[in-house]
Amino acid sequence: MSLNDEALSYLKKVFDLELESKPWIDQDRLPLFIKTQYEYFVLSSNQIEFLMVCDLGKHNHLDYQNVLVVLRNSFWSKNILIVAQTMTSYDTKRCCEKQISFLIPGKQIYAPFLGLLFNPKYDLAYRPVSNQSHTKLAPASLQVLMVILWMEGENFTQKTLIKQTGFSAMTISRAIKELKQLGVIELNANYKAEIKLDLLKIRQSEFLANLPSPINRKIHVSEASVPSLLRTKLVLSGESALSERTSLNEPQPPVYAISKKELNPYEKSLEYGLRMEENMIEIEIWNYIIPSTNGLINKWALVFSLLDQEDERVKSALISLVNNA
């Protein structure tokens, strides 16, 4: 199914809208740099007519903005809808801010000019319901939570969190607000008040299911290629760390973790390979500095990094670790 057909099917599903689609006859007049990168169709009904521009590659919001400028200046004065197979969250945000109407078949649509004419057939497909459950915890809030759990038992304030994370006061304030709203911490009105954790709430599966992974990506490298200075920065993690804390068997290859920032100076010297090759290690590259003690990852940070595991042995070991945390 072509991108054009997918878009028409999605518009039918969301808006119950029948549209006639035909190639735009003026597309041959376009500059070569946008004529070859997109397909153009005129969509119409008895109520509306607009131009649908299907992205044949993987462009971003700046590319779309340039296309719209060219089209609106000389070729098409009516509404325009960009259709893309995929789009990053950053690009979708910027498109909304720049009022660039777009559609990602089966996933998302932002087209105010359609919303003014038609009522969605499926409410959830177009706008959120106010009482729906919260979405994934913000990445900054997850890091703040990991630091709080790492420092459990110590007296600290929001100023301490600023020092530990390197975040601004505003970011810390937003993270604290989100965690408080979720009921996992308590904080008095006094700015210097200590933060009190609710471990029972954190242990609940409903809360854990809405945590993003702290891991950016994973790589397998030759152990011999790891510089000695980098080796001192690696933290035992993943199933290797879980086997240290539970009865889970130690995995092969062993698993270590390091933050993106710490790995950057050394990554080019590493020799990549496959998991099944001999003398390999797995390295998890985290978005954050990893809470650890004596080279062993903090138990809660370990739990958060393994929540997406499908292995029943790992799930069982995680339940044991969470219940005893």
The DSSP annotation for 128-196 comes to: --TTSPP-PPPHHHHHHHHHHHHTTTS---HHHHHHHH---HHHHHHHHHHHHHTTSEE--SSTTPPPE
Say how far apart CA 233 and CA 305 lie, in whole Å.
18
* 220 HSE (CA, 13 A, CB side): 11
Position 48 scores a pLDDT of 82
pTM over 0.75: no
At residue 146's C-alpha, the angle toward residues 232 and 316, to 5°, is 90
Distance between CA atoms of 207 and 300, rounded to whole angstroms?
13
Q: What is the reported pLDDT for 115?
A: 66
β-bridge pairing 280-286 and 255-259: parallel
Q: What is the mean pLDDT of each run of 10 residues along the chain (325 residues)?
A: 87 80 89 88 86 91 89 86 90 89 89 63 40 65 86 70 83 86 73 69 82 88 92 91 86 90 89 82 90 84 86 85 76
Backbone angles phi, psi at 115, to 5 degrees: -65, -25
C-beta of residue 79 within 8 angstroms of C-beta of residue 51 = yes
Q: How far apart are the first and last CA of the chain?
A: 50
Q: How many whole angstroms separate alpha carbon 98 and alpha carbon 309?
A: 38
CA separation for the pair 269, 260 (Å, rounded): 15
